[in-house]
A and B are shown apart, each in its own frame.
Chain A
Amino acid sequence: MPNISITRRCRRDCAFCFAAHERSRGAVVDMTPAVYEDALAFLERSQVADVRMMGGEPTEHPTFTEFVCRALERGLRPTIFTGGLMPDEALDYLSGVPAERVTVVLNSAVSGRDPDVWIRAQERVCSRLGARVEPGITLDTPALRPDFLLDLIERHGLRPRVRLGISHPIWGGRNRSLHARGARAVGSALEPFVRMAGAAGVGVDLDCGFTPCMFSPEFLETHPVLADSVGMRCNTIVDLLPEGDAIACYALSRFMRFPMTDGSTREEMISGFDRELERVLPAGTYRECARCQYRLEGRCGGGCRARRALRLRPDTRPWLGKG
Chain B
Amino acid sequence: MGGEVRPAPGIAWVVEQNGVTVVDGDRGALVSIAYPYAGLWAMIVGGTYTAGRACDLVMLLTGMDEGAVERQIVGALSSWRGLGLLEAG
Residues of A within 8 A of B (CB): 279-280, 282-283, 287-291, 311-314, 316, 318-319
For this complex, 5 residue pairs linking A to B, each with C-beta atoms less than 8 Å apart, are: A290-B18, A311-B15, A313-B15, A318-B25, A319-B25
Q: How far is the CA of A282 from the CA of B17 in the complex (A)?
A: 12
When the two chains form their complex, are residues B16 and A282 in contact, meaning their CB atoms are under 8 A apart? yes
Instruction: Count how many pairs of residues, one from A and one from B, have CB atoms less than 8 Å apart in the complex.
Output: 44
**Contact partners of A283 in chain B: CB under 8 A:** 16, 21
**Contact partners of A288 in chain B: CB under 8 A:** 17
Instruction: Knowing A279-B29, A280-B28, A313-B45 are in contact, say whether A287-B16 is a contact too (CB < 8 A).
Output: yes
**Contact partners of A289 in chain B: CB under 8 A:** 16-17
**Contact partners of A280 in chain B: CB under 8 A:** 12, 23, 25, 28-29
CB distance from A318 to the nearest CB of B (A): 7
CB distance from A284 to the nearest CB of B (A): 8
Q: How many residues in B have their beta carbons less than 8 Å from beta carbons of A? A: 15
Residues of B within 8 A of A (CB): 10, 12-18, 21, 23, 25, 27-29, 45
When the two chains form their complex, are residues B15 and A287 in contact, meaning their CB atoms are under 8 A apart? yes
User: Nearest 9 CB-CB pairs, A to B?
Assistant: A279-B28, A282-B14, A290-B16, A319-B25, A312-B12, A287-B17, A288-B17, A311-B14, A316-B12
**Contact partners of B15 in chain A: CB under 8 A:** 287, 311, 313
Q: How far is the CA of A314 from the CA of B10 in the complex (A)?
A: 10
CB distance from B83 to the nearest CB of A (A): 15
**Contact partners of B28 in chain A: CB under 8 A:** 279-280
**Contact partners of A290 in chain B: CB under 8 A:** 16-18
CB distance from B57 to the nearest CB of A (A): 20
**Contact partners of A316 in chain B: CB under 8 A:** 12, 25
CB distance from B55 to the nearest CB of A (A): 25
**Contact partners of B10 in chain A: CB under 8 A:** 318
Q: How far is the CA of A128 from the CA of B25 in the complex (A)?
A: 50
Q: Which residue of A lies closest to B14 (CB)?
A: A282
Instruction: Knowing A279-B29, A280-B28 are in contact, say whether A313-B12 is a contact too (CB < 8 A).
Output: yes
Q: How far is the CA of A290 from the CA of B10 in the complex (A)?
A: 23
Tell me which of A291, A313, A314 contacts B17 (CB under 8 A). A291
**Contact partners of A319 in chain B: CB under 8 A:** 12, 25
**Contact partners of A318 in chain B: CB under 8 A:** 10, 25
Q: Which residue of B lies closest to A277 (CB)?
A: B28
When the two chains form their complex, are residues A313 and B16 in contact, meaning their CB atoms are under 8 A apart? no
Q: How far is the CA of A235 from the CA of B25 in the complex (A)?
A: 21
**Contact partners of B29 in chain A: CB under 8 A:** 279-280
When the two chains form their complex, are residues A314 and B18 in contact, meaning their CB atoms are under 8 A apart? no
Q: Which residue of B lies closest to A315 (CB)?
A: B12
When the two chains form their complex, are residues A312 and B14 in contact, meaning their CB atoms are under 8 A apart? yes
